[in-house]
Amino acid sequence: MERTLILVKPDGVQRNLMGEIIGRFERRGLKLIGMKFMQMTVELAEQHYAVHKERPFFNDLVAYITSGPIVAMVWEGNDAINAARATIGATKPVDASPGTIRGDFGMEIGRNLVHGSDSPENGVKEASLFFSEDELVSWNRDLDPWIVE
């Protein structure tokens, strides 16, 4: 079972797309195990995006992700990483397929609405950066036999 950290970035919140974006993961069949509405600090943003520290866009990225509140979530499932990234679409919204979140709602790479972890290891690591283990909920979903074989 994989975990992925999903963020509705500040543009998603400001554009009233929270429900729309969350609904896509929910309808896909991923299982929500943690959620919070929060303001990221610069410290957390720098930790979360540490791999991009040397990139020219790093400062803009930190400014963007801390520019307003976000929704942080952990979703669980078999192949949760790939499923979530397919639902999110390509990093550059103009290259993202219609039907994906970025392909349906985005225009620019610096306003691409949503974050999803890129590997199972990073899913676990990023989830623990935003959530303590006791903030994650283990629960039985009655629909599971209709979603998971």
Q: Does 103 bind ligand IDP (CB under 6 A)?
A: no
**Shortest separation between residue 57's beta carbon and ligand IDP, angstroms:** 4
Residue 32 DSSP class: E
- The Cα 116–Cα 144 span in angstroms is 22
Q: Does 124 bind ligand IDP (CB under 6 A)?
A: no
Helix/strand/coil for 116: strand
3 or 115: CB nearest ligand IDP: 115
Our answer to whether residue 52 is catalytic in this structure is: no
Residue 3 DSSP class: E
Active-site annotation holder among 24, 31, 48, 115: 115
Residue 7 DSSP class: E
Q: Does 118 bind Mg ion (CB under 5 A)?
A: yes
- Residue 30: phi and psi, rounded to 5, are -65, 155
Residues in the chain: 149
- The site that binds ligand IDP (CB under 6 A) totals a number of residues, namely 9
What residue ranges bind ligand IDP (CB under 6 A)?
52, 57, 61, 91, 109-110, 112, 115, 118
